[in-house]
Amino acid sequence: MSYEPDWNVLTQTCPSRTSLARIANKWTAMIVIVLGKGRTRFRDLRAAVEGISGKVLTETLRDLERDGLVTRHVFAEVPPRVEYELTGLGRTLHGPLAAIGQWAEAHTAEVLENRERYDQER
């Protein structure tokens, strides 16, 4: 794995920032977390990521496919069936995103307390 130290997400024009913007968002995180469990059908993905609309799910999956993080498997059946799966590249992203999700779950109690204290003080 070659690393390009020239690329810096903090630099405005660096292409790496477009990658950061794509992966550092809640829908991408949740989708990749679910896909980490294995190949998943569109319908099940939509059910697992509670609250996501079909439109947003489709769009996010398209973007992930375009970036080579997800592969799309279409079955010529009626009713149609489409399954999504992490690519090798996508699997390298699963760990970091899962860590973010786990951080959120593990520290929410503390965060909620902090919010209450902050809101009371003002």
- CA of residue 16 relative to chain centroid, distance: 17
Nearest to a copy of itself of 50, 77 (CB atom): 50
By CB under 7 A, tell whether 32 contacts DNA: no
Rounded-to-integer distance, Cα 117 and Cα 31, Å: 33
What are the b/e assignments for 5-23, b being 16+ CB within 10 Å? Answer: eeeeeeeeeeeebeeeeeb
Any idea what DSSP says for residue 11?
A: S
Q: Judged by CB, which is closer to a copy of itself: 75, or 116?
A: 116
> Taking the mean position of all CA atoms in its chain, how far away is CA 13?
23
Residue 10 engages DNA in binding (rule: CB under 7 A): no
70 binds, among DNA, a copy of itself, none (CB under 5 to 8 A by kind): none
Q: Binding pattern to a copy of itself, positions 69-88, x when CB under 8 A?
A: --------------------
Q: Cβ–Cβ contacts within 10 Å for residue 122, how many? A: 4
Q: Could you say whether residue 30 binds a copy of itself (CB under 8 A)?
A: yes
Residues lying near a copy of itself in the complex (CB under 8 A) are found at 1-4, 7-12, 15-21, 23-26, 28-30, 33-34, 48-51, 65-68, 89, 92-93, 95-97, 99-101, 103-115, 117-119
